């Protein structure tokens, strides 16, 4: 007789328990004199074990093993294969497993890569990461086991929420989690540095790629979420200041601040304690984000199962890990050497101001997100804080940041600018004026929108200035900074234009009828049924023309999914002149007329282009102070040995 293997889900479950054991070894070993070397192998083992568990769960989803409760609750044999796989993390347990997997793989990566700060330091950083891993593995196994079996197994699953059967949302969580995990690594490196009491330019150089990578992925993840909301929800907007959106935005704000302050530490050796504090804060806020999303304390448009036990577990993890780290910071930070001094209008000064503005933004978003909870606790009144509050409070600061982003990279390190400096600002000032006037000519109504146009023009031109009239090949850092700032400028322009210059029409039409909006004629050509793999839909065909010439054909749908039964709105979107024509179809009401909501969204593509440029810029900047090898110019990729410029 052949030996009977236990079912694959049981193997996955076992792998998770073994991974927890490995994580505990990884967390404990570095603090022991002789066991220190065990941390790296333990991290590697943990990485492989969690990978094994994840593959086991993936297998269960792929072959529709309905003896696993999670598969039954979230999958269906008729579901397209791609969404069977993305269904792994389109639920609480699976998404936490994905989070742990990415963290474990990061640990594996750290364990396999050379240790720039020495093996002992690496062991300590791995130890801190091991504590985080162990906490989340315990959370998985005790409060959110993805491998829970049901006996007898059902013959069919209940399917996945159709809103989640979408490429934008399928890859939104993994992207965001890679970002969060990058922040965990930065956190681990910061705590290890605090414990060793040595924070140097070297530490900053070793840590900055992780922060830059984390920031790039957070940016992409948030952009993917916004993109999904934009085309899937059919409301014509891309950011709603929902608590779940804010939960992702807050760590991004801190990561942005950290990315800039670590630059100061790397180049000038200044702001060591501040940078370490930000590294801990970034981790704290990514934990807070996980808590907000998973505990259900805040009501949100996004539906997630509510379980107070899970919330409590996450809260204890959050308080324990970040509380411990802040305690270490409070005790050890005074022993870290003072930072180097700098003048107020130096590069450092601008980066400090950047950090302060970002923290102010963070504070405003945090207060707005938690206020409904506080008010209900105190007075029992229910309030919802939405775009009116957030737009009024954050947009002026965002404009200030845009101005600062333009001027900062032009300033010199350490000293105030030389007298002729203001002359360099003429081109961006002229661009600001020009953009503002163009915006006015296009029909901008509010001061804020005009300022948004002007700030975007300023930033777009200013971000290119450092290369004007320079013969030297730029460093990766300077080039990446410029790309990211250019992306921010384009995103600002896209956000302002798509909001302030949008045209919309809400009409009820019979087939053959038409209407005019923003200089375009739109005609309802047909409404008919269409079918997909697990849905059927009514699809409207809209012909859009301008001065008699066809511009685009839009096909918005009102979809009905079979498992689970659910109706969704699929917007019809066609790009036009850097923006979108966007239409949503109402449900049939039996009157023979069809409700159509039609938008013209100018320049909305710049938002997505901007986000991609920002992420690309961060990736390029991770290349550091090396200079690029220009084609045809033999210039080796070497970094200059001493990063502190002689003045």
Q: How far is the CB of 194 from other proteins (least distance, A)?
A: 12
Q: Measured between alpha carbons, how far is 188 from 23 in angstroms, rounded to an integer?
A: 14
Pick the closer one to other proteins by CB: 241 or 608. Answer: 241
Burial of 303 (0-12, 13-18, 19+ CB in 10 A): exposed
Among 68, 170, 401, 584, binds other proteins (CB under 8 A): 584
Assign 196 to helix, strand or coil. helix
**Scanning residues 3 to 22, which ones bind other proteins (CB under 8 A)?**
none
Size of the site for other proteins (CB under 8 A): 89
- Nearby residues of 348 by Cβ (< 8 Å), 6 or more positions away: 264, 268, 270, 271, 342, 413, 414
Among 63, 153, 305, 530, binds other proteins (CB under 8 A): 305
Pick the closer one to other proteins by CB: 112 or 305. Answer: 305
Among 116, 167, 386, 575, binds other proteins (CB under 8 A): 386
Q: How far is the CB of 100 from other proteins (least distance, A)?
A: 22
Applying CB under 8 A, which part among 245-253, 542-550, 566-574, 616-624 lies near other proteins? 566-574
Q: Does 354 bind other proteins (CB under 8 A)?
A: no
If we measure between CA atoms, which residue out of 349, 455, 453 comes closest to residue 397?
455
DSSP classification of residue 385? -
Applying CB under 8 A, which part among 37-45, 168-176, 521-529, 582-590 lies near other proteins? 582-590
Q: Measured between alpha carbons, how far is 282 from 253 in angstroms, rounded to an integer?
A: 8
Q: How far is the CB of 112 from other proteins (least distance, A)?
A: 33
Among 288, 402, 461, 483, binds other proteins (CB under 8 A): 288
Q: How far is the CB of 433 from other proteins (least distance, A)?
A: 26
Q: Does 430 bind other proteins (CB under 8 A)?
A: no
**Scanning residues 497 to 526, which ones bind other proteins (CB under 8 A)?**
506-508
Assess contact for 206 and 125: CB atoms under 8 A: no
Q: Measured between alpha carbons, how far is 110 from 129 in angstroms, rounded to an integer?
A: 10
Q: Does 637 bind other proteins (CB under 8 A)?
A: no
Pick the closer one to other proteins by CB: 288 or 615. Answer: 288
What are the b/e assignments for 199-228, b being 16+ CB within 10 Å?
Answer: bbbebbbbbbbbbbbbbbbbbbbbbbbbbb
Q: Does 600 bind other proteins (CB under 8 A)?
A: no
Pick the closer one to other proteins by CB: 128 or 456. Answer: 128
Q: Strand 557-561 relative to strand 535-546: parallel, antiparallel, unpaired?
A: antiparallel
Among 1, 3, 4, 334, binds other proteins (CB under 8 A): 334
Among 119, 156, 341, 433, binds other proteins (CB under 8 A): 341
Q: Does 351 bind other proteins (CB under 8 A)?
A: no
If we measure between CA atoms, which residue out of 237, 241, 240, 274 comes closest to residue 258?
274
| Helix 39-62 with 92-112: angle, nearest 10 deg | 140
Q: Strand 579-585 relative to strand 572-576: parallel, antiparallel, unpaired?
A: antiparallel
Q: How far is the CB of 359 from other proteins (least distance, A)?
A: 4
Q: Strand 579-585 relative to strand 594-601: parallel, antiparallel, unpaired?
A: antiparallel
- Nearby residues of 117 by Cβ (< 8 Å), 6 or more positions away: 202, 203, 206
**Scanning residues 245 to 284, which ones bind other proteins (CB under 8 A)?**
271, 274, 277, 280-281, 284
Q: How far is the CB of 505 from other proteins (least distance, A)?
A: 11
Among 55, 297, 437, 609, binds other proteins (CB under 8 A): 297
**Scanning residues 175 to 214, which ones bind other proteins (CB under 8 A)?**
none
Pick the closer one to other proteins by CB: 149 or 593. Answer: 593
Among 203, 228, 291, 582, binds other proteins (CB under 8 A): 291
C-alpha separations of 281 from 32, 196, 285, 322, 395 in Å: 28, 19, 6, 8, 23
Applying CB under 8 A, which part among 7-15, 190-198, 387-395, 520-528 lies near other proteins? 387-395
**Scanning residues 390 to 409, which ones bind other proteins (CB under 8 A)?**
392-393
**Scanning residues 123 to 162, which ones bind other proteins (CB under 8 A)?**
158
Q: How far is the CB of 312 from other proteins (least distance, A)?
A: 6
If we measure between CA atoms, which residue out of 122, 201, 227, 91 comes closest to residue 612?
227
Assess contact for 257 and 211: CB atoms under 8 A: no
Assess contact for 545 and 568: CB atoms under 8 A: no
**Scanning residues 408 to 427, which ones bind other proteins (CB under 8 A)?**
416
Q: Does 362 bind other proteins (CB under 8 A)?
A: yes
Q: Does 568 bind other proteins (CB under 8 A)?
A: yes
Applying CB under 8 A, which part among 51-59, 107-115, 131-139, 383-391 lies near other proteins? 383-391
Q: How far is the CB of 311 from other proteins (least distance, A)?
A: 5
Q: Which helix (H) or strand (E) holds 176?
A: helix 172-196
**Scanning residues 307 to 326, which ones bind other proteins (CB under 8 A)?**
308, 311-312, 315, 318-319, 322-323, 326
**Scanning residues 535 to 564, which ones bind other proteins (CB under 8 A)?**
564
Among 63, 153, 301, 637, binds other proteins (CB under 8 A): 301
If we measure between CA atoms, which residue out of 44, 39, 201 comes closest to residue 121?
39
Q: How far is the CB of 456 from other proteins (least distance, A)?
A: 24
Pick the closer one to other proteins by CB: 374 or 430. Answer: 374
Phi, psi for residue 365 in degrees, rounded to 5 = -65, -40
- Site mask for other proteins (CB under 8 A), range 209-248, x = bound: -------------------------x--------------
If we measure between CA atoms, which residue out of 177, 133, 142 comes closest to residue 20?
133
Applying CB under 8 A, which part among 106-114, 190-198, 360-368, 632-640 lies near other proteins? 360-368
- Nearby residues of 476 by Cβ (< 8 Å), 6 or more positions away: 620, 621, 622, 623, 624, 625, 626, 627, 628
Q: How far is the CB of 568 from other proteins (least distance, A)?
A: 6
Q: How far is the CB of 323 from other proteins (least distance, A)?
A: 6
Q: Measured between alpha carbons, how far is 573 from 645 in angstroms, rounded to an integer?
A: 51
**Scanning residues 55 to 74, which ones bind other proteins (CB under 8 A)?**
73
Among 373, 398, 437, 464, binds other proteins (CB under 8 A): 373
Assess contact for 598 and 583: CB atoms under 8 A: yes
Q: Does 295 bind other proteins (CB under 8 A)?
A: yes
C-alpha separations of 359 from 191, 236, 363 in Å: 21, 30, 6
Assign 339 to helix, strand or coil. coil
Q: Measured between alpha carbons, how far is 90 from 566 in angstroms, rounded to an integer?
A: 17
Q: Measured between alpha carbons, how far is 424 from 496 in angstroms, rounded to an integer?
A: 26
Burial of 392 (0-12, 13-18, 19+ CB in 10 A): exposed
Among 109, 383, 433, 442, binds other proteins (CB under 8 A): 383
């Amino acid at each position: 007789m052949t030996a009977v293997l236990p079912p694959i889900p049981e193997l996955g479950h076992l792998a998770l328990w073994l991974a927890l054991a490995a994580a505990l070894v990884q967390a404990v070993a570095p603090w022991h004199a002789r066991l220190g070397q065990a941390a790296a192998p333990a991290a590697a083992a943990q990485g492989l074990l969690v990978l094994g568990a994840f593959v086991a769960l993936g297998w269960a989803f792929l072959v529709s093993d309905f003896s696993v409760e999670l598969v039954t609750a979230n999958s269906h044999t008729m579901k397209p294969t791609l969404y069977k796989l993305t269904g792994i993390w389109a639920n609480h347990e699976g998404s936490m497993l994905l989070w742990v997997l990415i963290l474990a793989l990061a640990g594996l990566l750290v364990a396999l890569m050379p240790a720039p700060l020495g093996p002992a330091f690496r062991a300590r950083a791995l130890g801190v990461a091991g504590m985080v891993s162990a906490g989340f593995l315990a959370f998985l196994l005790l409060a959110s086991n993805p491998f829970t079996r049901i006996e007898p197994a059902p013959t069919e699953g209940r399917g996945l929420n159709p809103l989640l059967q979408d490429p934008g949302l399928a890859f939104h969580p993994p992207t965001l989690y890679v970002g969060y995990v990058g922040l965990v690594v930065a956190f681990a490196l910061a705590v290890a540095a605090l414990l060793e009491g040595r924070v140097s330019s070297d530490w900053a150089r070793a840590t900055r790629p992780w922060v830059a990578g984390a920031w790039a992925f957070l940016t992409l993840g948030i952009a993917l979420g916004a993109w999904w909301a934009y085309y899937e929800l059919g409301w014509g907007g891309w950011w709603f200041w929902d608590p779940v959106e804010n939960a992702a935005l807050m760590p991004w704000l801190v990561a942005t601040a950290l990315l800039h302050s670590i630059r100061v530490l790397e180049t000038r050796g200044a702001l060591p304690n501040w940078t370490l504090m930000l590294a801990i804060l970034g981790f704290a806020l990514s934990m807070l984000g996980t808590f907000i999303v998973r505990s259900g304390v805040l009501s949100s448009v996004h539906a997630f199962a509510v379980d107070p036990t899970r919330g409590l577990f996450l809260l204890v993890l959050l308080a324990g890990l970040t509380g411990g780290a802040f305690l270490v910071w409070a005790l050890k930070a005074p022993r870290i050497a003072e930072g180097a001094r700098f003048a107020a209008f130096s590069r450092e000064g601008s980066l400090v101001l950047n950090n302060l503005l970002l923290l102010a933004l963070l504070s405003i978003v945090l207060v707005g997100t938690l206020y409904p909870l506080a008010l209900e606790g105190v007075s029992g009144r229910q309030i919802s804080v939405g775009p009116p509050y957030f737009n009024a409070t954050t947009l002026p600061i965002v404009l200030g940041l845009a101005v600062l982003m333009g001027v900062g990279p032009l300033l010199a390190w350490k000293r105030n600018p030389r007298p002729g400096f203001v002359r360099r600002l003429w081109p961006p000032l002229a661009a600001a004026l020009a953009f503002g006037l163009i915006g006015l000519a296009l029909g901008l109504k509010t001061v804020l929108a005009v300022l948004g146009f002007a700030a975007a023009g300023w930033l777009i031109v200013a971000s290119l200035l450092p290369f004007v009239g320079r013969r030297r090949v730029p460093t990766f850092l300077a080039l990446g900074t410029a790309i990211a700032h250019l992306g921010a400028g384009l995103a600002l322009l896209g956000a302002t234009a798509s909001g302030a210059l949008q045209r919309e029409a809400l009409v009820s039409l019979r087939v053959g009828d038409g209407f005019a909006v923003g200089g375009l004629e739109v005609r309802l050509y047909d409404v008919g049924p269409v079918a997909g793999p697990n849905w059927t839909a009514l699809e409207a065909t809209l012909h859009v023309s301008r001065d008699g010439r066809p511009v685009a054909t839009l096909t918005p749908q009102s979809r009905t999914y079979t498992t689970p039964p659910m109706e969704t709105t699929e917007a019809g979107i066609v790009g036009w002149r850097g923006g979108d024509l966007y239409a949503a179809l109402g449900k049939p009401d039996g009157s023979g007329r069809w409700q159509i909501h039609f938008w013209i969204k100018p320049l909305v593509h710049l938002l997505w282009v901007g986000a991609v440029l920002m992420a690309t810029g961060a990736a390029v900047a991770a290349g550091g102070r090396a200079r690029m090898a220009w084609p045809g110019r033999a210039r080796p990729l070497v970094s200059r040995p001493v990063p502190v410029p002689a003045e």
